[in-house]
Amino acid sequence: MTALRLGLIVLFFAWAPSLQAGQCRFTLNNQSTLKMEGAFLYARGQVASARDPAFADESWATMKVPFRWQDTMGAYRGEIWLRCHITLFGQRPEAAGLRLRDLSDADEVYFNGIRIGQTGSFAPLKPVFSEERLYMIPATAWQEDNVIAIRLYGSSALSGIKSAPVLIRDATATGGRFQFEGMALAFSTLYIFFALFFAVRGVVTLRPRENLIFAAFCGMLGLYQMIRNGYRYDFFEEFTTSFAAELLLLIPLPFVFYEFLIAWTEHNRPRYVLYLEGVAGLLWICTALMPFLPAQRVTTLLQASMYINLLILAGGAVAGVLLIRRIYREQKQRLQYPAIGFLIILPFVIHDMLVSAGLLKTPALFVFAFPVFLATFAVQLARNELDLEQMSRHRSTEKKQAERRKTEAIYNVSREFQHHFDGVRSALNKPKQSEKQLKQHATALRQLLGDAKLLSALEEGSYELRQARFSIREQVRLLVNEVQIATGEKPSRFQLELPPDQERFWSDLGLFHACLYHLVENAVLHSTGKIQIRAGVVDGTLRLSVRDEGPGIGVDAQDRIFDKFYRGSGLKAPGSGIGLTIVDLAVQLLNGRLHLESGPGFFTVFDIELPEMQEVNI
């Protein structure tokens, strides 16, 4: 007999699901949750007495739950009632709750005739969607046979119950959900503080634009998460208005972030970002107008706006990857850490997009991932501050060096003037040598004044090229003679290898004079041995070489020898420090090439190659 009873019990539980599905009856034993998925009894229209557990619903049709409105209701828009029985076995639950997810638009739920919860409003219609419901069931309301009656209003094809209702025996165990929302709210508040921090930073720093844009980004993200995690009805009276506000904050978020990147890196805005911004701007305007439309249309339009925004976000995510990749190639040091942070949060962005689209039923996680990006951004800011400090120190050092060079330049020029004035005074006191010395110092002074004028014109870009066809041999001899007069040097030091007198060359004669004069003068003043001067034209290019057998130029000094006012250490001969600078600038203007080779303690060679100018017919 005992075996027979056991067999009947096994058969009952084996066939129970099919019986429950046909009669809409679920059994609650001692399990923690009961998923109410199956055929519910339903009727269209206002049936106020359907809340009564004794209501006769035998004539009602059946409908499988979960369901989408467009699949079962067709074109009907309005109110429906759903009913189902729950048989209780075992101990009565003390803190049970009914959880409804993915339900829209407005609902009202009764348990054994007792209203246990309502979301939204039926008259006037105030729809609520994409918001989880958890209705507590009083312990005293439980009976052996229980009836759940759900009153639902559908205003669009997207309405319905898209996830099966779940009966939870101990609803207090769902406190983790509230802890999750509390943590999300704490992070949202943190973003508001970050927004204030960057706003203040934008006011007090020299780069306000990127700081204020990032402050706007953090503030918008913080407000968006606060609406979603606890402050919805503190900020707004109706769900549709709050949902529209969510979208108005969410739609521009990726583009605000792009604006920050563009401002921070001083990069040009790509064209595809402009296109996406235009589409997002149109969607933003349309979404802002939706809450003012009739309530029967608001649900459809807002959800359509949400799905369109998901497509824009998908395009924005791709655009973000392309933009960061493009900038990263050019400014790797500036985007090193934020790029890592962006790659970390990108999967969370995709996850939340799938959650919003209804493809995943897990909680949104981006609110917890974004601090990772903030941390990487903070590390980058700290590194940038260190780089700026080092750059500031470097600039301070350069400024001090520039001031020192300026002082040295003034000293060198005044010293050279003093040298020539002393020479003139000495010549006047020695009548026998006065004519030669006066000529020497007058030539040097004239050259010094001409150099100052020429250097100013070359640096300002105001020098006008003047083409001339001249004899290389004649001009080299003339310039060597001028150097001899200005320095008082003997002709025996010079060794000349020059082309025939009839060989001519087209170039700027004034710049040619300046280049050769200062190279020869430099060799005379800073060496004691022979000075070799070679000149010739090869394949339309003038090749000029000045070689001395002096002490040479150190490796460190070679990098700075053409800097304005620079003079090597330990030099006794007077000089202004602008001669080689003029040579360098003149060769550049003539599209030539200047090369220095020096063996410290042995020799120094300056080689110049000048292309011939195009001949001008006069």
- CA quadruple 472, 478, 479, 480: dihedral, nearest 10: 110
Per-residue pLDDT, 421: 56
Q: Are residues 184 and 307 in the same domain?
A: yes
CA 519 to CA 442: how far, in whole Å? 20
Per-residue pLDDT, 342: 80
Q: How confident is the model at residue 216 (pLDDT cuts 50, 70, 90)?
A: very high
Contacts of 605 (CB under 8 A, 6+ apart): 545, 546, 547, 596, 597, 598
CA 111 to CA 147: how far, in whole Å? 6
Sign of CA dihedral 583, 588, 592, 596: positive
Whole-prediction pTM value?
Answer: 0.60
Per-residue pLDDT, 54: 92
**What are the structure tokens assigned to 17, written together?**
């699901």
CA 390 to CA 522: how far, in whole Å? 38
Q: Are residues 116 and 197 in the same domain?
A: no
Per-residue pLDDT, 2: 47
Q: Are residues 279 and 325 in the same domain?
A: yes
Q: Are residues 219 and 168 in the same domain?
A: no
Q: How confident is the model at residue 49 (pLDDT cuts 50, 70, 90)?
A: very high
Per-residue pLDDT, 406: 62
Q: Is the pLDDT of residue 63 over 90?
A: yes
Per-residue pLDDT, 173: 62
Higher pLDDT, 441 or 171: 171
Per DSSP, the chain holds a count of helices (H) and strands (E) of: 16, 21
Q: Are residues 121 and 185 in the same domain?
A: no
Q: Is the pLDDT of residue 137 over 90?
A: yes
Q: Are residues 281 and 232 in the same domain?
A: yes
Mean pLDDT of 12-39: 70
Per-residue pLDDT, 164: 93
Percent of the chain's residues with pLDDT above 70: 85
**What are the structure tokens assigned to 63, written together?**
């409908």
Residues in the chain: 618
Residue 275 falls inside a structural domain: yes
Instruction: Kindly state the DSSP code that residue 416 receives in the 8-state scheme.
Output: H
Residue 10 falls inside a structural domain: no
Decide if 319 contacts 277 (C-beta within 8 A). no
Q: What is the CATH number of the domain that holds 61?
A: 2.60.120.260
| Strands annotated E in 69-221 | 78-88, 96-100, 103-104, 106-111, 114-119, 133-137, 145-154, 160-161, 166-168
Q: Is the pLDDT of residue 18 over 50?
A: no
Q: Write the CA distances from 19 to 4, 85, 433, 460, 571, integer angstroms.
A: 21, 12, 135, 97, 110
CA 517 to CA 438: how far, in whole Å? 20
Residue 460 falls inside a structural domain: no
For the chain, the domain total comes to 3
Q: Is the pLDDT of residue 430 over 80?
A: no
Q: Write the CA distances from 495 to 371, 476, 541, 579, 604, integer angstroms.
A: 76, 12, 22, 22, 15
Q: Are residues 234 and 362 in the same domain?
A: yes
Which structural domain, as residue segments, surrounds residue 481? 465-611
Q: Is the pLDDT of residue 145 over 90?
A: yes
Residue 162 falls inside a structural domain: yes
Higher pLDDT, 100 or 376: 100
Q: Is the pLDDT of residue 571 over 80?
A: no
Highest mean pLDDT among 110-114, 209-213, 498-502 belongs to 110-114
Instruction: Choose one of 390, 405, 425: the last residue of a domain.
Output: 390
* 374-391 as b/e: b if 16+ CB within 10 A: bebbeebeeeeeeeeeee
Q: Is the pLDDT of residue 10 over 70?
A: no
Residue 164's nearest CA partner among 26, 303, 351, 22 is 26
Residue 31 falls inside a structural domain: yes
Instruction: Choose one of 344, 374, 390: the last residue of a domain.
Output: 390
Q: Are residues 29 and 129 in the same domain?
A: yes
> Quick one: which H or E segment has residue 299?
helix 295-330
Per-residue pLDDT, 409: 56
Pairing of strands 160-161, 67-68: antiparallel
Range with the poorest average pLDDT among 5-9, 80-84, 419-423, 427-431: 5-9
- CA quadruple 610, 614, 617, 618: dihedral, nearest 10: -40
Residue 504 falls inside a structural domain: yes
Residue 446 falls inside a structural domain: no
Q: Are residues 162 and 181 in the same domain?
A: no
Mean pLDDT of 117-144: 90
Residue 560 falls inside a structural domain: yes
Per-residue pLDDT, 1: 42
What mean pLDDT is reported for the chain? 82
Instruction: Choose one of 338, 370, 390: the last residue of a domain.
Output: 390
Neighbours of 427 (CB within 10 A): 20
Range with the poorest average pLDDT among 153-162, 288-297, 309-318, 564-573: 564-573
Per-residue pLDDT, 86: 94
Per-residue pLDDT, 459: 80
**What are the structure tokens assigned to 128, written together?**
């609520």
pLDDT tens digit string along 466-495?
888 888 889 888 888 888 877 778 888 888
Residue 427's region, left for phi above 0, alpha for psi from -120 to 50, else beta, is alpha
Per-residue pLDDT, 385: 73
Residue 99's nearest CA partner among 38, 150, 46, 29 is 150
Q: What is the CATH number of the domain that holds 526?
A: 3.30.565.10
According to DSSP, the residues that pair with 545 across neighbouring strands are 534, 607
Higher pLDDT, 580 or 573: 580
Q: Report the SS3 class of residue 548.
A: strand
Q: How confident is the model at residue 52 (pLDDT cuts 50, 70, 90)?
A: very high
Q: Are residues 183 and 62 in the same domain?
A: no
Per-residue pLDDT, 19: 40
Q: Are residues 212 and 271 in the same domain?
A: yes
Higher pLDDT, 297 or 408: 297
Q: Are residues 236 and 372 in the same domain?
A: yes
Residue 52's nearest CA partner among 136, 151, 168 is 151
* 214-228 as b/e: b if 16+ CB within 10 A: bbbbbbbbbbbbbbb
